Amino acid sequence: METKHLTFSDFLSYVSRNSGMLWEYFLQHLLMVLIGLGLAVIVGIPLGILCSKNKWAAKIILFITNILQVVPSLAMLVVLMLWLGLGTKTVMVGLFLYSLNPIARNTYVGLKQVDPSYLESGKGIGMSAFQLLVKVRFPLSLTYIMSGLRIAAVIAIGVVTIAPLVGGGGLGREIYAGLNSNNSLRIFAGAIPAALLAIVADIVLGILQRKLDLAKRKSSGVPAQPKVQNLG
């Protein structure tokens, strides 16, 4: 593949000429990520809460979600394709399954890390188990949950680039079109926005995570809780 004669102006010219198509791919890419992550949040947080209440449920749920996450992304999408067929639905279900582990695990870890003294104080003023969860445990776990969402978002953005292999859209379509036609400009036009999207998502969610931690400390005097890393 010849890239030595390409210049930045060539890249900008290509992007300018195909801005409508590239914008459409970008929106498809972003939409698949948002839907997959949204479903994982809706299911993963309750699973994390269940894990915090029952150690056997924690072992089973975390084992299954960990298995799902370590399955190679292409293999996962191919298996789902045999069940759901070609298309965007297969990709979004794959993203949902991939995102469950960091969200459920971080929710579980965050809830378990809450200082018992805060729970005792809540019980002392007559809070029910549900009130303790909603008003004490969950707010103190938000930084952990945001960390899980941050990990899941970066993974999801990368996984979506192989969506065209199972009939999906997104920026991966431009990458694979470039590979098939030996066109470096098309590869860069798909890969660079995808990489930038992952970087921006990581930075923005990281900022939100730090703001939540700061707000929590200011309002309750709780010391900063460390981020959970490498939970895959």
Cα separation, 207 vs 107, whole angstroms: 19
Cα separation, 71 vs 87, whole angstroms: 20
Residue 35 above 90 pLDDT? Answer: yes
Which two tokens mark 227?
A: 């981020």
Of the candidate CATH numbers 3.20.20.140, 1.10.3720.10, 3.10.20.30, 3.40.50.11540, the domain formed by 8-220 belongs to 1.10.3720.10
Q: pLDDT tens, 147-193? A: 999 999 999 999 999 999 998 889 999 999 999 988 999 999 999 99
| pLDDT at position 220 | 56
Scan for tokens 């269940």, then name that residue. 50
Query: Which residues, other chains included, contact 96 with Cβ-Cβ below 8 Å and sequence gap of 6+?
Result: 36, 39, 40, 43
Scan for tokens 């948002």, then name that residue. 34
- For the segment 51-62, the average pLDDT, to the nearest whole number, is 93
Q: Are the beta carbons of 108 and 52 closer than 8 angstroms?
A: yes
| pLDDT at position 6 | 74
Q: Higher pLDDT residue, 174 or 133?
A: 174
Q: pLDDT tens, 57-82? A: 999 999 999 999 888 888 899 999 99
| pLDDT at position 228 | 44
Which two tokens mark 215?
A: 């707000």
Residue 11 above 80 pLDDT? Answer: yes
Q: Are the beta carbons of 100 and 47 closer than 8 angstroms?
A: yes
Quick one: residue 69, left, alpha or beta (phi over 0 = left, psi -120 to 50 = alpha)?
A: alpha
